[in-house]
Structure 1
């Protein structure tokens, strides 16, 4: 891990880094010293590690919860090169969305393509961040909606260090098998009027999660209209399970 810049604002320090070819960002309280809980944050499709929603959540989790928070550009996103294979999968997704109807199949194909790389990359980022003396090997949580959920479900299913997760805004297509291996507490967010993910598909993904400690938070509104109070709820949820 190589830090490329460090800045501080309103009590939170932001460290930009690279880990091999993975660009990432780590947020910590300014006075961070010694081990602390860590949250991994997965961004949405077409976004990147410093998308406004990611930054806003990360800064709150660090400032108010004392967490370390890390985000990384998913494969073929942000500062990372976009390969020809990704272009073909993306073209299929856009064609499916233009045709109307259920987008679950094209979305599943995209997330499956990306998760083959993103799961081992997240594990490598987790290894590297936990070696830092101001983060350490404390409890780990995951937060990711939409594509962050599509890549997060297989990661949470595969990584035993994750103790709790906030997921949602996605359907069950392509994720049922991985969801059946998720046994940690989950807060699942669903938009009742989602214009990208049919309601019944989101409910099916919630149902497929194997954990007994899952809670569904459903709110009126379209895909990108998650109410601001859900950030407060997520912070309380992660604090309760990670300490």
Structure 2
């Protein structure tokens, strides 16, 4: 098992930010600045073309840490953030930009590339979870959630399907092509975000992925708007979802 090595630490707004490395994979762990008691852990997957400390990741972490007292961890996906791109990454990204410039559908390229990244990232996430649970403030028996939209869903669905320690997940905004069969293996509570007017993911495709989850408790949040117009209040809804399912119900989300 790879051990976790902290490489930097800072604090602000009641939250401690610690950079770490597990098996060569860089990540960040956000935790409450006060309180030594064990607390639930939420793993977050970032979107395509971004990184572990992207504004969306830091903002969601602040809500979960301040609103619920949770720990939140993100790792850079292969070819993202502080991780170098391979020749394969460069080819796929170039093909995506070419299709975008030509006005061609991006879906087939994104689905293919994200599936490739997921094969690499799922074992990395499981090793990271092993290392995080060795920390005394998290522990091996505490509840774990997963929160990832877009590419975070492409990696999150296969991860949740094989990782029994994850007991609740917020997902959304992806195609069902390679994820539907894995979604059928998932029975934990799910909150799923969908943009009704998504210009990349057809409405029927998003609904098909939601339908594929075998969870008895699953909730669809469909909002008007295009792909990048997911309302910010959905982050607050995710906080309430995790508060219910990870054991800290009754805690309100941060504003």
| 2:219 equivalent to 1:177 | no
Name the residue aligned to 2:200: 196
The CA distance in 1 between the partners of 2:207 and 2:93, in whole Å, is 25
Q: Could you tell me which of 43, 54, 59 is aligned with 2:57?
A: 54
- CA contact 1:102–1:198 (8 Å) conserved in 2: no
The CA distance in 2 between the partners of 1:176 and 1:227, in whole Å, is 25
Q: How does 1:79-228 map to 2 (within 5 A)?
A: 79-100=82-103, 102-137=105-140, 138-228=142-232
TM-score by length of 2: 0.92
- CA contact 1:17–1:23 (8 Å) conserved in 2: yes
Name the residue aligned to 2:20: 17
Structure 1: any 5+ residue segments left out of the alignment? none
| 2:250 equivalent to 1:240 | no
Alignment CA distance shift 1:199-1:98 (3 Å): farther
The CA distance in 2 between the partners of 1:4 and 1:107, in whole Å, is 32
Question: CA shift at 1:104, angstroms?
Answer: 2.7
Question: CA shift at 1:20, angstroms?
Answer: 2.2
The CA distance in 1 between the partners of 2:128 and 2:208, in whole Å, is 30
The CA distance in 1 between the partners of 2:194 and 2:122, in whole Å, is 24
Question: CA shift at 1:150, angstroms?
Answer: 0.7
The CA distance in 2 between the partners of 1:153 and 1:40, in whole Å, is 13
Question: CA shift at 1:106, angstroms?
Answer: 1.4
The CA distance in 2 between the partners of 1:6 and 1:205, in whole Å, is 39
The CA distance in 2 between the partners of 1:184 and 1:205, in whole Å, is 15
TM-score by length of 1: 0.96
Question: CA shift at 1:102, angstroms?
Answer: 4.1
Structure 2: any 5+ residue segments left out of the alignment? 248-255
The CA distance in 2 between the partners of 1:199 and 1:95, in whole Å, is 24
Tell me the matched-pair count: 243
Question: CA shift at 1:176, angstroms?
Answer: 1.4
The CA distance in 1 between the partners of 2:158 and 2:170, in whole Å, is 13
Alignment CA distance shift 1:103-1:204 (3 Å): farther
Question: Residues 68-101 of structure 1, C-alpha deviation per residue, up to 9 Å, x if partnerless?
Answer: 0000100000000100112222233333444445
Considering only aligned residues, what root-mean-square deviation do their CA atoms show, in Å?
1.3
Question: CA shift at 1:112, angstroms?
Answer: 1.2
Question: CA shift at 1:15, angstroms?
Answer: 0.5
Question: Residues 174-201 of structure 1, C-alpha deviation per residue, up to 9 Å, x if partnerless?
Answer: 1111111111110000011112212111
- CA contact 1:93–1:110 (8 Å) conserved in 2: no
The CA distance in 1 between the partners of 2:130 and 2:163, in whole Å, is 11
Alignment CA distance shift 1:132-1:69 (3 Å): same
